[in-house]
Each structure stands twice: as structure tokens, then as C-alpha cells.
């Protein structure tokens, strides 16, 4: 049952990834769900907002905080199409998200980092339930296509 719910919500996060792509942003989308209701939405906006912190997760956290009028998002689940970076992990810890579900892992230079280790190091007594590889193929495909097209455009210039 939980897997079906995770797929349902990841499909919504993917819609925001496609929206980010349409704006020329790296295609990452995120939503925050509390009691079967979306309370926060976000997509990468760093380029359009001229803000290096405007990652999909951060935008969703900001929106959720405004929605429930509290920065503590206890008992909520954050869905994101790509594994969060260290900056976003810090914000997730501070918001007290209960559960993190992401689509595909972030692998750079063949170095995969462990989110669980990051959360243990940054959050000390904070625990979070992490689930990955939800709709992995679709979540990774949009990123792969985006960067392949970007490289082709850079070669042509």
C-alpha cells in the first residue's frame, strides 16, 4: 500500500521536475505531503531566481512552512526526484521531516554518498525514514536527457 502511495506522490513531484525543465532549470521536483494532502511544492529555481539555495526541496520546505504556518513539518513526507544535496539535508533536518522519499541517487564522479551517514552526522539525535528508487528510471531519465541536450548545445556553440 505504501509503495502505491509513494508512486502516486512521486508522479506529482515529476510533474514539477518537468516544469523546472521547461524553465531551463535542472529538472528536479519536490512535494511535501502531510495527512494525504500536499502542503508544499517546489522545483529547481536557482537560475530564474538568481539564488543558489533555490533547490526543489528548499522551495517545497518554504512553501510548506507558509502553508501550515510553522517551520516544523513534523509527521510529513518529502518527495523529491533526486537524492538531496548536503544543503537540503540540513534544511530537512531542521524542519523535522519524518520521511524522505527520492527517485534516483545523486552520483557524481562515481562517488555515491550515504544520506543516512549525512543525517546521522548533521542531525545527531534526529532520525528520518529514507526510501529511495521510487520511479528511479523516470526520475533519472529526465536528468540524463537534460544534461545530454545541454552538452550537445554547448558543443554546437
Q: Is 57 a catalytic residue?
A: yes
Q: Does this model's pTM top 0.85? A: yes
Q: Is residue 7 part of a domain?
A: yes
Instruction: Kindly indicate the confidence band of residue 124, based on its pLDDT and cuts at 50, 70 and 90.
Output: low
Select which of 25, 36, 57, 83 is catalytic. Answer: 57
Is 88 annotated to bind a ligand? Reply is yes
**In this structure, is residue 74 part of a structural domain?**
yes
| 89 annotated as ligand-binding | no
Q: What pLDDT sits at residue 106? A: 77
- Residue 111 pLDDT > 60: no
pLDDT of residue 115: 67
DSSP β-ladder status, 29-34 and 77-82: antiparallel
> How many domains does one find in the chain?
1
pLDDT for 116: 67
**Could you tell me the CATH number of the domain that includes residue 131?**
3.40.140.10
Q: Tell whether 137 is covered by a domain.
A: yes
For the stretch 61-80, pLDDT in tens is: 999 999 999 999 999 999 99
Domain encompassing residue 111 = 2-143
* Residue environment code for 115-154, b if the CB has 16+ CB neighbours within 10 A, otherwise e: beebbeeebeeeebeeeeebbeeebbebbeebeeeeeeee
Decide if 148 is inside a domain: no
Mean of pLDDT values over 31-49: 98
Amino acid at each position: 500500500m505504501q509503495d502505491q502511495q509513494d508512486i502516486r506522490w512521486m508522479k506529482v513531484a515529476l510533474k514539477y521536475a518537468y516544469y523546472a525543465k521547461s524553465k531551463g532549470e535542472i529538472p528536479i521536483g519536490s512535494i511535501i505531503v502531510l495527512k494525504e494532502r500536499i502542503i508544499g511544492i517546489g522545483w529547481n529555481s536557482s537560475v530564474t531566481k538568481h539564488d543558489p539555495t533555490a533547490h526543489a526541496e528548499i522551495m517545497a520546505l518554504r512553501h510548506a512552512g507558509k502553508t501550515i504556518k510553522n517551520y516544523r513539518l513534523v509527521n510529513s513526507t518529502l518527495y523529491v526526484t533526486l537524492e538531496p544535496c548536503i544543503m537540503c539535508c540540513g534544511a530537512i533536518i531542521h524542519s523535522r521531516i519524518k520521511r524522505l522519499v527520492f527517485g534516483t541517487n545523486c552520483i557524481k564522479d562515481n562517488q555515491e554518498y550515504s544520506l543516512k551517514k549525512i543525517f546521522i552526522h548533521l542531525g545527531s539525535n534526529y532520525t528520518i525514514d529514507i526510501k529511495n528508487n521510487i520511479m528511479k528510471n523516470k526520475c533519472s531519465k529526465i536528468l540524463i536527457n537534460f544534461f545530454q541536450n545541454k552538452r550537445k548545445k554547448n558543443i554546437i556553440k
